[in-house]
Amino acid sequence: MEQLQIREAAGKGGKLCLKIGEVECKCSLHTFYITRARESIAELTSQIAEATTKLADTITGGMNGNGNHAIYERMQELEQQVDATEQALSLGFDSLRLNPWARSVRSQIADYPEVLTAINRIVRQLRRIAYTVNDVPVPWRVIVHEQEWAQVDAQLLRSISGILAWIAHSLSTFSTTTSAQDNNAVHANLERKEQVRATLDTAFQQLISCEEALLHNEIADDLVSMQGEDSPLSKGHILSLRGAILTDLRRILQELSEILAVLPPR
């Protein structure tokens, strides 16, 4: 009788172990999809940050025609990569949908679709800037030669690149633990996030100053003067190019603001 009870207890224990193993397996699978989605967005954002720095060099005339075209093609490639990242994110949500084992981790990627949508819009605006640089009848480096506004726009792009790089780092180092060490990391990350916000605020102020100057036509005298009366670009044309770039930069800064608002604190 005792042996029978022992066998029954062992059987129940075995079933319990199997159940626990099943739960752990399911939780590990959900964690895998969440990590995969997060890392995909982080990698994409990191690549966009790198491409943005190169676009800044393009704005100042630091590249030739082939280089300008290459950065435009790179922006097109990044737009296509957004689709692949959306698929990875979709897998993450599919693994969590209507699954009781995933309730505790579902909130970890709840804001990611909004983040990815903003990133998609940022890439689109960067591509538009690259298109503006390429869609001119004269070499871009001739247009921006010794032009202060080109340096200002490039600085705004570099600030954007730095913010994107921080977003990528924040996503890639996101932790789900609650240890004391992790809490310290959260505090440090929050401080860094405030610094990034300050950088974004400064960029907005620079942009506003540029827009006001353009609105009052204060930069007209500073624009490049093409030699010869038959110049293919008038000052008005260059002003319109400048206005288009500023519009794209404003939209990018707005999207970055949206990302910082929803980005998890760690």
User: Exposed, middle or buried, 238 (CB in 10 Å: 0-12/13-18/19+)?
Assistant: buried
pLDDT digits 0-9 by tens, 221-249:
554 444 444 455 677 788 889 999 999 99
Return the structure tokens found at 18: 């199997």
CB 160 within 8 A of CB 241: no
pLDDT digits 0-9 by tens, 24-53:
444 454 556 667 778 888 999 999 999 999
pLDDT digits 0-9 by tens, 143-175:
888 889 999 999 999 999 999 999 999 888 765
Q: Domains of the chain (ranges plus CATH)? A: 2-262 (1.20.58.220)
User: Exposed, middle or buried, 78 (CB in 10 Å: 0-12/13-18/19+)?
Assistant: buried
* C-alpha distance from residue 102 to each of 32, 63, 109, 240 (Å): 12, 50, 12, 52
DSSP state of 217: T
Nearest CA to 118 among 70, 82, 157? 82
Q: What is the pTM of this model?
A: 0.79
The pLDDT, as a whole number, for residue 4 is 45
3 state DSSP class of 180: helix
The pLDDT, as a whole number, for residue 64 is 87
The length of the chain in residues reads 266
pLDDT digits 0-9 by tens, 83-108:
888 877 777 666 666 565 555 556 66
Nearest CA to 264 among 175, 159, 165? 175
User: Exposed, middle or buried, 17 (CB in 10 Å: 0-12/13-18/19+)?
Assistant: exposed
More confident site: 204 or 177: 204
Averaged pLDDT score across all residues of the chain: 78
CB 58 within 8 A of CB 144: no
The mean per-residue pLDDT over the stretch 192-200 comes to 93
pLDDT at 78 over 60: yes
pLDDT digits 0-9 by tens, 108-129:
666 788 888 999 999 999 999 9
The pLDDT, as a whole number, for residue 54 is 96
